Chain A
Amino acid sequence: MAGGNGFDIDALVEPDRVHRACYADEEIFEREIRQIFHKSWIYVGHESQVPNAGDYATTVIGKQPVIMARHPDRSIHVLYNRCPHRGALLCNQRSGNTGAAFTCSYHSWQFKMDGKVRHIPIQSGYDNTRFSLDDPDSHMKPVARKEVYRGFVFASLAADGPDLKDWLGTAIAGIDDMCDRAPEGEVEVVPTCFRMIQKSNWKIFLENQLDAVHPSITHTSTGLAAQKVEQEMEAETGKPPPLSYHYISAFAMDLDKWGALDVVGHPHGHCVLQGYMGLRPSDPDTLEYEEVMRKHYGPERTEEILDVNIHHLLVYPCLSIQSPLQQLRAVRPLAANKTLTEIWHFRLKGAPEPIYRRALDYFYLVNSPSTMINADDLYNFWKCQVGLESEGGDWVSFHRNAGQDRVEDGVATSNIGFSELPMRNQFEAWRDYMAAEDGA
């Protein structure tokens, strides 16, 4: 019996199939929160969400409400969103500027951006009591660990574990890819965050992100509709359709082409799907951008950067990143059958405006609440959830191309895009997290 608590994790996860309870069982979900989301590194936000002193943004790590705050000394702090006096939430807005202090709306206790007490009213009342500012319990509690990599803020509620860079390992290339594509080497968040609720388990979403078989089936209606309008537009205007149409018409490309993509499984469940959209056209906007890139990086380094060919990077269990289009979806599980995604996009600092418009167009067409793409994904996810809650069968099959991956230095690669390698890789990490001793 691995993992205790009555769960035999090894009986749930086999190398090529997993038990439906992994998606449907509320007790397993609670264990996922404790063993995965409260231990692993979790994406909190990007530091450009809080550019000025006193700025804050709120989110959750697992089931813990947290605040990301900017201190006047420029440092970023990630704090539990809880007043140490009587427990009230200190911020109940998603973002804002709180000036010099977080002030509790209940009894006006005040805290600095690093969570330390700034002022407590009626101080005389604490004379001759056990209350002391030397006691950490008197201050807002910081998360156990926090690291910022190229502006991306991650936190872990566990004191022990690999540091962020070791944990990201070779998958760090996806974050580097997004930042390196900026002439100034940095990205800046666009402050509109779309939040979408999926009526399905969080793992169904992550598995779908690197599933190269589904697009030409799930998204055939949108892909073909976009192809038709592309042709009509060219006939009516005499001009080639904008690249944005290709984002959605590409979903209807032949199944064979999807099969030719590489999929890569990194340690800790992180995965990569190779790019397919050919995002390096030779239109004037792209040429101008490449010229700006060469000025900043020189010709050789520019080629290296633009040759990176990633479509999707999964930072397991919390992020789906589309680096060449500067999109990011953070996963916030709410229940075994309910998941919130926080969806962001970024500007490449120093890149010309038309290059930003590409990110914006993708954000609109694929990631906005009016998406013609996720309309069908979310419906599939819900159908899967209903089926996995049924007793019509116990197993989920990940057999496709099982046992055929090349493994080198802990990194598994398949040049068969249809391989269910990403799903197997994610569950290998899942099993390790879930089988670990409680509290370890």
Chain B
Amino acid sequence: MSEVSLETQRRVEQFLYRQAEILDERMWDDWLNLFTPEGHYWMPASPEQTEGEGQANIFYEDHYLMRVRIGRVNHPNAWSQYPPNRTGHVVSNVIVETEDAASGDIVVRSKFYVAEYRNDEQRFFAGKYRHDLVNSPDGYRIRLQRVDIVNAEGPFDYVLQYWI
């Protein structure tokens, strides 16, 4: 593991916390802005998967697909959004895997725990994130976010309406 400065550790943690808050508060414009123009959100269907492109995934979305999903959730006739989801994310165990000395680009691993409440039922999801982040003067942006939920191969009791 590379040594990172306290400043880098703090910046990247703040970024992850901010992303969690954006999801919990359903701030969809901010969500899209977290990703680079070519950025992807990826949840593999098994932990062995090494790439998302051309594979069966639980999520594999670029900006355009994310916009469809946001458009659906916001549409007044998205029937299963009555009542809407409410989530609470906790992100922890933040370990910087690599930091590019020249660009400041970062690969960072973390763990998450999510409670989702909808329609009188509570569900829980846990797993790990791996963020491939591009550094810029405006802050980090996501080139690729890999999300491994621990029950990726299990039966799904109802769907995931949006990202975890």
Residues of chain A touching chain B, judged by Cβ–Cβ distance below 8 Å, are 190, 192, 194-197, 199, 218, 220-222, 224-226, 228-229, 232-233, 245, 248, 340, 345, 353, 357, 360, 363-364, 368-372, 374-376, 378-380
Contacts and interface: CB of A to CB of B under 8 A. Distances in A.
A218 B80 CA distance: 10
A232 B58 CA distance: 25
Main secondary structure, interface of A, reads helix
Interface stretch (B11-19, B59-67, B108-116, B132-140): B59-67
Contact of B79 (A196, A221, A225, A229): A221
A369 B160 contact: yes
B68 A248 contact: yes
Contacts of A221: 71-72, 75-79
B154 A195 contact: yes
Interface in B28-83: 43, 45-46, 54-60, 64, 67-72, 75-80
A226 B64 CA distance: 9
Contacts of B102: none
Contacts of A232: 64, 67
A370 B71 contact: no
B59 A363 contact: no
A378 B157 CA distance: 10
A275 B87 CA distance: 39
27 contacts: A190-B56, A195-B156, A196-B155, A197-B157, A197-B158, A221-B77, A222-B68, A222-B72, A225-B75, A226-B68, A226-B71, A229-B67, A232-B64, A232-B67, A245-B68, A345-B56, A364-B56, A364-B60, A368-B56, A368-B57, A369-B156, A372-B69, A375-B159, A376-B78, A376-B80, A378-B158, A379-B80
Contacts of B56: 190, 192, 194, 345, 360, 363-364, 368
A304 B155 CA distance: 39
B158 A218 contact: no
Given A368-B56, A369-B159, 20 more contacts: A190-B56, A194-B45, A194-B56, A194-B156, A196-B156, A196-B159, A197-B157, A197-B158, A221-B77, A222-B68, A225-B75, A229-B64, A245-B68, A345-B56, A357-B54, A370-B159, A370-B161, A372-B68, A375-B159, A376-B80
A194 B77 CA distance: 27
Contacts of B54: 353, 357, 360
A374 to B, nearest CB: 6
Contacts, number: 98
Nearest to A220: B77
Contacts of A370: 43, 58-59, 159-161
Contacts of B57: 364, 368
Contacts of A222: 68, 72, 78
Given A222-B68, A224-B75, A375 B80 contact: yes
A228 B155 contact: no
Contacts of A197: 155-158
Which size bracket describes the interface of B in this complex? 20 to 34
Interface string B137-164: 0000000000000000011111111000
Contacts of B79: 218, 221, 376, 379-380
B77 to A, nearest CB: 5
Nearest to B80: A379
A370 B41 CA distance: 12
B147 to A, nearest CB: 11
A359 to B, nearest CB: 10
A73 B48 CA distance: 31
Contacts of A363: 56
A181 B161 CA distance: 33
Contact of A374 (B64, B72, B159): B159
A228 B159 contact: no
A7 to B, nearest CB: 31
A102 to B, nearest CB: 22
Nearest to B82: A379
Contacts of A192: 45-46, 55-56
Q: Which of A190, A225, A228 has the most CB of B within 10 A?
A: A225
Nearest to A341: B155
A232 B159 CA distance: 27
Enumerate the 9 nearest inter-chain pairs by beta-carbon distance, A residue then B residue, closest first.
A225-B71, A221-B75, A192-B56, A221-B78, A195-B155, A379-B80, A369-B156, A225-B72, A197-B157
Contacts of B72: 221-222, 225, 372
B71 A229 contact: yes
A368 B75 contact: no
Nearest to B45: A192
B127 to A, nearest CB: 13
Given A196-B156, A224-B71, A363-B56, A375 B161 contact: yes
